[in-house]
Amino acid sequence: MTSFVRRLALLLVPVLVLAAACGGDDSSSGGSAQPAAAGGRTAVKVGVLPVADLAPLFHGISKGYFSEEGLDVTTEVGQGGAALVPAVVSGQYQFAFGNYVSLMLAAQNNVGVQIVSNVVNGAERADRGTNALLVDPTKGIASVKDLAGRSFAVTTLRNAGELTIRTTLRNAGVDDSRITFVELPFPDMNAAVQAGRVDVAWQAEPFITLGSDAGLKNIVDPMYATMPSLPLAGMFAGKDWLAENGDVAGRFVKALRRSLADGGDTAAMRAAIAANTRTPPAVIDRLALANWSAELDRDKLGQVGDLAERYEILEGAPDLGDLVWSAPS
């Protein structure tokens, strides 16, 4: 494992590394009103990781979309994904970015969070994949059919990795009863496959590109194989805070939607990644960009919850009516 890849990992941990905060007290001061910033704008802090999936947010801030809504938005890198949920509930951040399985788990554990906007989905087409199952092509794995009984590296046990891997195998008619999972950070996965410690790496960009450069083979995008445009992650806020600051949240969502609408401007998105991460230009230019959308498909999100329940990741189907915030009319 090169020192370059380790450094890159700290700067580009993809969204699915965000783990659930399985506990905590939601009776904190997260519902307090927002202070005014300079120029009469409302100060809003967003908890982030410096990831490519957040390019539209960084882009919208630099373009002044949030300022035009009377918001002074700043971002702060959280102390890892698991810290973002309690930081939002406590009021340290007004918003943060999280994957939906993790947010369902948080809600199941009575952590008061709500999704305010979708940000990123899985690929909408087979040729647009930004996730992958990477294997060593010399180890006898040529297709999904060869994955029965294999070991898989995932970022977090009992989360989105297991859900999408099991669904990918079952959709292909492959027995998933004997597969095993090993928890590893994204930057360690490719080396683990090469060394034979695991058979398969459940990977995301930029580590797909790096793995391909190292001779690994992408046999399937597990997100797309689970369902096209699989809802992956979005912005969330504390439930108590939203009850008292609906107008602020509405303006934030309006600006974020405008930012996400620019997602098709690939030059602008790559520029935002370059400006807000330390990804080498050669990697940025080759990175598969995410499928950004402000629209949250509740039917598909419900299917994600059903799959999580089927695989006993969740104890029951999530209450989407409570998990997804509705802006005041």
Q: Rounded to an integer, what distance in angstroms lies between the CA atom of residue 132 and that of residue 313?
A: 21
> Do 172 and 261 share a domain, yes or no?
no
Question: What pLDDT is recorded for position 86?
Answer: 92
The CATH number assigned to the domain holding 299 equals 3.40.190.10
Domain boundary among 192, 226, 260: 226
> Do 112 and 141 share a domain, yes or no?
no
> Do 141 and 265 share a domain, yes or no?
no
> Do 54 and 156 share a domain, yes or no?
no
Strand partners, 113: 238
> Do 110 and 131 share a domain, yes or no?
no
> Do 233 and 319 share a domain, yes or no?
yes
Question: What pLDDT is recorded for position 79?
Answer: 61
Q: Which residue segment(s) compose the domain that 150 sits in?
A: 127-226
Domain boundary among 226, 244, 278: 226
Question: Tens digit of pLDDT per residue, the chain (329 long)?
Answer: 444 444 444 444 444 333 332 333 333 334 455 555 556 899 999 999 777 899 999 999 999 999 999 999 999 987 656 678 999 999 999 999 999 999 999 999 999 999 999 999 999 998 888 899 999 999 999 999 999 999 999 988 999 999 999 999 999 999 999 999 999 998 899 999 999 999 999 998 888 988 999 999 999 999 999 999 999 999 999 999 999 999 999 999 999 999 999 999 999 999 999 999 877 888 899 999 999 999 999 999 999 999 999 999 999 989 999 999 998 87
Q: Is residue 39 part of a domain?
A: yes
> Do 247 and 304 share a domain, yes or no?
yes
> Do 209 and 274 share a domain, yes or no?
no
> Do 12 and 143 share a domain, yes or no?
no
Please give the tally of structural domains in the chain: 2
Question: What pLDDT is recorded for position 10?
Answer: 41
> Do 218 and 251 share a domain, yes or no?
no
Q: Is residue 250 part of a domain?
A: yes
Q: Is residue 78 part of a domain?
A: yes
Question: What pLDDT is recorded for position 21?
Answer: 29
**201 residue type, one letter:** A
pLDDT (tens digit per residue) in 281-302: 888 999 999 999 999 999 999 9
Residues in CB range of 168: below 8 A, 6 or more apart: 133, 144, 220, 222, 225, 226
pLDDT (tens digit per residue) in 94-151: 999 999 999 999 999 999 999 999 999 999 998 888 899 999 999 999 999 999 999 9
Question: What pLDDT is recorded for position 39?
Answer: 67
Question: What pLDDT is recorded for position 128?
Answer: 87
> Do 154 and 82 share a domain, yes or no?
no
Q: Is residue 329 part of a domain?
A: no
> Do 101 and 245 share a domain, yes or no?
yes
Q: Is residue 35 part of a domain?
A: yes
Q: Note whether 149 and 282 are within 8 A (CB).
A: no
Domain boundary among 178, 210, 226: 226
Q: Is residue 202 part of a domain?
A: yes
**224 residue type, one letter:** Y
